[in-house]
Structure 1
Amino acid sequence: MKNILPVYNPPLLGFLRWPYTLSITMGYNETLPWFYTNFIQVKVNKNFHEKKSEFNFNFYRGERNEFTNNPFISTTSIDVDFLNGLNHDILSFLKYSIDSGYYVVMLVDEFFIPGKYSYFKENYPHHIFIYGYDFEKKVLFLTGFSHGVYGHNVINFYDFINSYKSIINMYNNNLTPKDNIYLMKFNSNHSYNFSEEVFKDEILSYYYSKSHTDSLNYINVDNEYGLKTYKHLIYYYSLLSEEVEINDFGKIRSLHILWEHKNMMVKRLEYLSENGHLNNVELTIMNYNKMAKKAMILRNLILKSNVHVDKSVYIKVINGLRDLELIESEALEKALELFRKN
């Protein structure tokens, strides 16, 4: 018995909430107008230092669960206690879910998953994305990072069951917060037509560092948006350069996401131009190409010296971020003038 659901190469990898959902939808052309209208805004938790929390620079699409924010996906979640109360073995549950067309995202202990950094080193609760099974070979098919590279992987039933039992034990002993199991299926009934008005509104929100998303249900006190995130990126790397004791987990990921954002802006503008939604954006595309290259250089600087990053590397990153802020601010100002004329 074997069943493997289709998955596609996701364009964003910085946080797994994006590749897990986008790997389901990116193979369908009808989702592209939605995709290229979204993932424009970014945010940062501006009070990270005072709260002694991890620095978090990321795309922003509202304060909603990461697995329920794609309209082309129908998501169902199941409480772990409820599932355990049914006394069904987890492999039968996964088989039934996949046979019903559902991709499965669940929290497991990566201590038991080969290829993960924490494999047989430390208990590490983390979400995995399951898209298929083979009962003859006794393996599950996953997408995610393995040995630092995002791609397709397999895990044998034995290792998976151990990772699942371990996380249940951690739940029961209050060692990690409980999390639901998420079942996601492609929603072929949804449609999305490109709106020039919505697109321009998102660009304006980024330029003016504002976000109206979820304003009725969420009062922002911790986040900064859009162009103002540069200030906090610079502050973060300044603290690292001064060897202030802070969580440095985001030092590579933040620059990777910065590159993803600029690279996505290039692809977005090219797509919208090729499909007749925008005109005369060649200069803006050229500017964002320039920004994407600069952001990649900054990311690679940190990558190359990841083990022992000296102060001079951080200074180069800080100066590069200042350059990018100026280039992007000027490029968007010119682009907005063009939008107003159109």
Structure 2
Amino acid sequence: MSALKWGQGKGEGAAGPSLFGLPLSPGHFVLPRVLRRPVRILARLGVGEFQAPRFSAAILSGVLIASSSAYGAYLGGDVEGIVQSITARTGFAVDQVKVVGNRQTSEIDILDRLELDGWTSLIGFNAEAARERISGLPWIEVAAVRKVYPHTLEVRVEEREPFALWQQGNDLSVIEKDGAVIAPFSGGKQVLLPLLIGAGAPAKAPDFLAKIEKYPELASRVKGYVRVGERRWDLKLDNGITVKLPEDGEDQAIAELVSMDHDKGLLSRDIAAVDMRLSDRLVVQLTPEAATQREAALNEKPKSLKRKPETKI
């Protein structure tokens, strides 16, 4: 007989509702639907009428063991690994990675920084930590890592902008416009970048290269910009000629150089260097071959001219 009894009338002798023999109220009393089943079970437990389901002891033991294991994992710091293992085997393992925006950085390097092991769960994956690791790559300026459920990672990067190559001794590096070194020279399209040589070159290069670029014909022939003594520039041209610019007044010197080349073909001659360091003169140095030819030509001329005998009239 149930321990929860409801009164059927209001007359004398009508039994009121009771739980474990305790009256609840003199009138009608209705429990919320969600509480009715738990209350009935508790009432049956009170009078010994409730029978536990089969295997309940095994279930309770399993729950106890599982909760103990979870608590032990929490204390030992292994919760993340357990979550990764369970969720990866239930359909959330990362099996696709999309990389967008990389030009100089290889996808292999980016994947290596993600630290995926084949059973990495998207749920437990730390996207922020992965973003910081990717941001540490030489060419990466900005990185973003996004989870796309159920099993995809999307990596978007913005790379640093190369400005020039900088040679110091035997070291050749790719630099930004502000002179910051990005990475060692690795070939490919990087060979098309302007070549700066010497200490102090990166700091002065942006303004100086802008002056040269005003004269496209000259700029296309320059293969190297040499900073001399951190005071002035030499230009190394594609035909081997070196143009030595002055410390002061380099704008005027560049304009004169372009004008002489246009009018007289100065930079197409067989010369080794054009020295413009002195403001009042221009010195041209011949190549060894040209110097030899010039000396031979001079030696072929007669040392003196024979005078014709005078004729008396």
Instruction: Provide the TM-score with structure 2 as the length reference.
Output: 0.18
Q: Which has the higher contact order (CA 8 A, sep 6+)?
A: 1
More strand by share: 2
Higher Rg: 2
Instruction: Provide the TM-score with structure 1 as the length reference.
Output: 0.17
